[in-house]
Amino acid sequence: MKKLVQALLILAILFSCSATKNNTGGKSSKINNDTAVEQVKSIVVPYTLENVKQIITKESIKKNLEYLASDALEGRNTGTKGIEKAAVYIEEFFEKHNIKPYFETYRDTFNMEKIIGYNVVGYIEGSDEKLKNEFVVLGAHYDHIGTTKEFNSDTIANGANDNAAGTSAVLEIAKYLANKKDNKRSIMFALFSAEEKGLLGSKHLSKRLKGENLNLYTMVNFEMVGVPFKDRNYEAFVTGFDLSNMAEKINSYTASGLIGKSEVAIKYNLFERSDNYPFYQEFNVPCQSISSCDMSNFDYYHHVDDEVDKLDFEFMTSLIIKVIPAIEKMSNTETKEIKMYNE
């Protein structure tokens, strides 16, 4: 990214020189470097694979995971000091990358029986006067189960794949889209707590947004995207595959066979077991999860060994980068192309 910005700065300076020359009858004048820098900032960076790779990196993803799935966060159980640390990390990430709070603050707070939970919600306002009133929601749960049965003297269920991986995917996509600055639709980034307690965070936020008459186009949830399949002709699946044309459109937008149909996910009804489902119930629009794990290729679900060292960062980075063109198309098509099959 540094080289790209340097190149754009040179172009801006050359443009400034040309404009100055034209305005002074050929006489040279001092270049205003601040103006040149602002011209660079106003240039929208076009999508290229190289640009994406400079923004979304394995190192950044690994940094997110190593913190969110560290012992210091004690398994990120809702209502604990550990999940508070995770929430602060997400808030600081959003603030650093100029992603605004959707509400008055980043936190969407809800009451549970004896504790308080909170989702962390940011957004990027769309650039199109009409389409900015339509929203694409990108979500993932950032909580986990805290501690569990001891295994090899360890009781902390760090939840690296479940679901620090999905959380990091949303953060990295948010960083990239904030850098682009030209999404026609508004994009909301929702990190949910209390998923492990019955989807309570997403139930609360979806009801709140429905009550506020949010114009939701589609919701894409990221769940357990840290490990690859070894025997499939696709890299990830969407839950609720047969409910909408989301998988078809993602493959079309990415010119690939990236997304497939997991019979295992259907067997275990994974469509109803993650945070996409409350949004589907409230809005009755395509709200589905992207995942690369259907329990057949990961042995550490709700286990203390769901650790960072079990993840494949090369795969995870590649998957996130490959999804980017689909998210961009979702946020920029003139009409709502992703539809329920029963419409």
The answer to whether the CB of 138 falls within 8 A of the CB of 189 is yes
Tell which wins on pLDDT, 179 or 236: 236
Ranking 7-11, 22-26, 57-61 by mean pLDDT, the lowest is 22-26
Instruction: Taking residues 83-112, report their average pLDDT.
Output: 98
Residue 18, pLDDT > 70, answer no
Amino acid present at 15: F
The answer to whether the CB of 202 falls within 8 A of the CB of 275 is yes
Sequence-separated (6 or more) residues with CB below 8 Å from residue 166: 140, 141, 221, 222, 223, 224, 225
Note the CATH number of domain 57-330: 3.40.630.10
What is the pLDDT at residue 50? 85
Give the global pTM: 0.87
Residue 34, pLDDT > 70, answer no
- Alpha carbon distance 185, 239 (integer Å): 24
Residue 128, pLDDT > 60, answer yes
Residue 133, pLDDT > 80, answer yes
Instruction: Taking residues 38-46, report their average pLDDT.
Output: 40
Percentage of residues of the chain with pLDDT beyond 70: 86
Where along the chain do its domains lie?
A: 1-43, 57-330
